[in-house]
Structure 1
Amino acid sequence: MSDLFIFSGLFCQADAIVKRLMDDTDFKLVTDEDLVAQAASLGGMSEKAVAKAFSPKTSIFNKFSHEKERAVSWLRLALANRLAEGQALLVSGMVTQLLSQEISHVLKVCIIDDLQKRLATARNESGLSEGEAEKEIQQSDEENTVWVREVTGNNDPWASSLYDMVIPADKTGVDESVALIKEQLVNSAVEVTEESKQAVQDFLLAAKVETALVAKGHNVLVSAEGGKVTLAINKKVLMVERLEKDLREIAEPMEGVKSVDVTFGKEYYEADIYRRMDFELPSRVLLVDDEREFVKTLSERLLLRDLGSAVVYDGESALDVVQEDEPEVMILDLKMPGIDGIEVLRRVKSNRPGIEVIILTGHGSEDDRKTCMDLGAFAYLNKPVDIDVLSQTLKDAYAKVRNS
């Protein structure tokens, strides 16, 4: 039996359509939540970190941590594993967009309504006011747009080119929508064939290679066909031959890989630089200092030592980042306008004790040092600081985080 993928807008009667299909068929339902849990288990990530991949907001640390790319890779492998099991699946949600290779026995369906019908559905089903419903729809559509753009390159989440069927549920209704989908499921074009089974194995192999590369800190596009794997580099590289060698050394020994071809993707010539992620180094470092030139220079000097960091200029912004993005290590100045460094330290160690905080100040006293260490600071350093001393202190703090 074919597999069915359903992607929909919020308040488009998709839940009712999915329920009817599940009642009328032998499909096994697979949701975003199912694959988030499986991806977290496969990749050794928290479910919260994996689920953040769907968010339109990218962490300020992602440039260095590649957490979103890692989550997407493990989600894709989780999806490929489920497809390879051979049981007929009804996959519903954001994860349907992760099918990066054509599998002819997968029927891809988009369910969407016009705005007025969606507002009416929201009022009737959820009791929302028109203003509340419009806000929720706008937020959901933004999430869908960003997600689809990131994983497919298409700016329109409802574009017909992404699907085999686009159903305007406001015009067809639940009964007719279900009937149309069931009619297409028996179409010979989506029958399971030996070729379509091989396409599933190709997708699975590509996903396995992608996650193997991600686990070693690499981020490239991967496709596979009959054991022939293609790796597409999408960012500029200073030493292409060295990167190609690294990629081949990881991919070529893998089971099922017959050959590896390294190419340049369509985004290779954009203004960005390929950086391999080193998991032995901290990637979620937050610098907090109101001296803008100093902290900008410090961030650049740390980057030269492969220590990426995000920067904020006041205590309030630092606490916002701690709440939303959870840095692993902070480098914190004491004397700042508004919420000072000692108060930031106190709140961080109270609410997020796992974050290690390095105090770096040019105006502190011995009493300040004692207060900070008593509050749980990892280290107390004075400006000007030897960059090698700071780098080693950062690594030591990160080692403590990893081992805790």
Structure 2
Amino acid sequence: MSVITLFSGIFCGADAVVRDVMDSTGYPLIDDSRVIAIAADLSGMPESKIQRAFSAKASVFNKFTHEKECSIAGLRLALATELAGRPAVVSGFSGLLLPRTISHVLRVCLIAETPFRIAQAQKAQMQDEKEILKQIHARDADSAAWIENLWGIKDPWDSEFYDMVIPMSQVDAAKAGALIEENLLKDALRRTEVSIQAEKDFLLAATVEMALCRSGHDVSVSAEKGAVVLSINKQVLMLARLEEELQSIAEKIPGVASVTTRVGKDFHQAHIYRKHSFEIPSKVLLVDDEREFVQTLSERLELRDMGSAVAYDGESALSIVNEEEPEVMIIDLKMPGIDGMEVLRQVKRTRPEIEVIVLTGHGSENDRQQCMALGAFAYIQKPVDIEELSDTLKRAHAKIRQTIS
């Protein structure tokens, strides 16, 4: 019995088609929410963070945390574990994770022209056409970013990628379901020894990838009958040492017979390989209106493998806090608009788990006392000693990790 993946544009009637196919085949449903929940259990990451892997917008901290890559690794492992040799209807973004080597997968895309999608949304009681278009454009952007990230394809509806592309403006759910069921009977979609092995290879590669992510690494993984290949896609100064470390992790995974490392096709591009250290803060938000100072500070922290993002005013800082979930903030007190004291007050009221370090050149003893009373982790006067600040950041990060554990 085969696997069906259904990828769809928003407002294209996918839910009705999924129900029709499930009723006709008796296949169980594996949707994105199911895969995310399993991935959270397997990886230890919150579901909310894994969900963001489907978004076109990347976190400003991602080059240090590898959260998106680890989320995708968790999703791969979850899907591979959930399939485990059984038939299923895989609906949503997750189905695109399955490699082409698994030949018993029927890959289906449901899409329609924008006017049809607007009409479908209006039938579902959405009347604001601008809001409908906004949702269509946002979801299409997510879809495009997702498939490009996975397979390097820019068009999420590219017919070359799927076995079937069904224009939903021309057929109803029942007809679409019938077309899918008709194609499902083709001999090319039967399970074979080769396709079953490919599914096992997918599970092994996903298991190795997740183990490497847990150790802070970001490499591509493939497997064939126990032979694992690790592709390093970013430049690294001590390649041999990295290869040795990667091999030592991968070879401990049950089912791995051999491990080979190689440089990937993007190795010579201007990207530096960064192993994520869980002992060093990698989500630091710097808030200061002195642009030259804060950029220099960000660069000096980066040299110490501490990931940081920069905001030049209080309003921008609060926006980043809501979207990006920094672990530690370093804020100046004197800023135009929302000043540092108000940022501290709002952050500790709404996100008390974030540790805030006040770094200022204009504060008084009264300011220091007020900041500490509001919950600041530390109060430091400019000019700052970078070693002192680094040590303070590490202590704040250690406090956060202790609280989580």
Q: Residues 364-392 of structure 1: CA distance to partner in whole angstroms, max 9, x if unpaired?
A: 11101100001100011111121111111
- 2-side partners of 1:326 and 1:308: how far apart? 13
- 2-side partners of 1:127 and 1:289: how far apart? 42
**Alignment correspondent of 1:259:** 258
- 2-side partners of 1:399 and 1:30: how far apart? 38
**Alignment correspondent of 1:49:** 49
In the TM superposition, what is the alpha-carbon distance from 1:259 to its structure 2 partner?
Answer: 1.3
**Alignment correspondent of 1:364:** 363
Alignment check: 8 A CA contact 1:331 1:358 kept? yes
Query: 1:39 is aligned with what amino acid?
Result: A
- 1-side partners of 2:161 and 2:104: how far apart? 15
**Alignment correspondent of 2:31:** 31
Aligned: 1:60 with 2:60: yes
**Alignment correspondent of 1:378:** 377
Alignment check: 8 A CA contact 1:28 1:87 kept? no
**Alignment correspondent of 1:332:** 331
Query: 1:58 is aligned with what amino acid?
Result: A
**Alignment correspondent of 1:126:** 125
**Runs of 4+ in structure 1 over 6 Å off:** none
**Mapping of 1:132-151 within 5 angstroms?**
132-151=131-150
Q: Residues 225-270 of structure 1: CA distance to partner in whole angstroms, max 9, x if unpaired?
A: 1111111111111111111111111112221111112122222222
Partner SS for 2:305: coil
Alignment check: 8 A CA contact 2:282 2:305 kept? no
Alignment check: 8 A CA contact 2:219 2:231 kept? yes
Alignment check: 8 A CA contact 1:101 1:223 kept? no
**Alignment correspondent of 2:22:** 22
Aligned: 1:232 with 2:231: yes
- 1-side partners of 2:93 and 2:220: how far apart? 19
**Alignment correspondent of 1:178:** 177
Q: Residues 119-165 of structure 1: CA distance to partner in whole angstroms, max 9, x if unpaired?
A: 22222233434333222211111111111111221101011222111
- 2-side partners of 1:357 and 1:130: how far apart? 42
- 2-side partners of 1:390 and 1:65: how far apart? 20
**Alignment correspondent of 1:320:** 319
- 1-side partners of 2:243 and 2:283: how far apart? 27
- 2-side partners of 1:398 and 1:152: how far apart? 36
Aligned: 1:13 with 2:13: yes
In the TM superposition, what is the alpha-carbon distance from 1:97 to its structure 2 partner?
Answer: 1.3
Structure 2, unpaired ranges of 5+? none
More divergent stretch after superposition (62-71 vs 370-379): 62-71
- 2-side partners of 1:117 and 1:171: how far apart? 10
- 2-side partners of 1:134 and 1:24: how far apart? 33
In the TM superposition, what is the alpha-carbon distance from 1:106 to its structure 2 partner?
Answer: 1.0
Query: 1:52 is aligned with what amino acid?
Result: R
- 1-side partners of 2:333 and 2:114: how far apart? 51
Aligned: 1:302 with 2:298: no
**Alignment correspondent of 1:273:** 272
Alignment check: 8 A CA contact 1:209 1:251 kept? yes
Question: What TM-score do you get using the length of structure 1 for normalisation?
Answer: 0.97
Query: 1:24 is aligned with what amino acid?
Result: S
Query: 1:87 is aligned with what amino acid?
Result: R
Number of equivalenced pairs: 403
Alignment check: 8 A CA contact 1:26 1:88 kept? no
In the TM superposition, what is the alpha-carbon distance from 1:348 to its structure 2 partner?
Answer: 0.6
Question: What TM-score do you get using the length of structure 2 for normalisation?
Answer: 0.97
**Mapping of 1:198-237 within 5 angstroms?**
198-237=197-236
**Alignment correspondent of 2:69:** 69
Alignment check: 8 A CA contact 2:126 2:132 kept? no
Partner SS for 1:162: coil
In the TM superposition, what is the alpha-carbon distance from 1:23 to its structure 2 partner?
Answer: 1.3
C-alpha change, 1:196 and 1:353, in structure 2 (3 Å) is same
In the TM superposition, what is the alpha-carbon distance from 1:47 to its structure 2 partner?
Answer: 0.8
More divergent stretch after superposition (92-101 vs 240-249): 92-101
Partner SS for 1:267: coil
In the TM superposition, what is the alpha-carbon distance from 1:108 to its structure 2 partner?
Answer: 0.8
Q: What is the RMSD of the two structures over their aligned residues, measured on CA atoms?
A: 1.2
Alignment check: 8 A CA contact 1:357 1:378 kept? yes
**Alignment correspondent of 1:197:** 196
Query: 2:71 is aligned with what amino acid?
Result: A
- 2-side partners of 1:128 and 1:223: how far apart? 47
Partner SS for 2:304: coil
In the TM superposition, what is the alpha-carbon distance from 1:334 to its structure 2 partner?
Answer: 0.8
More divergent stretch after superposition (390-399 vs 60-69): 60-69
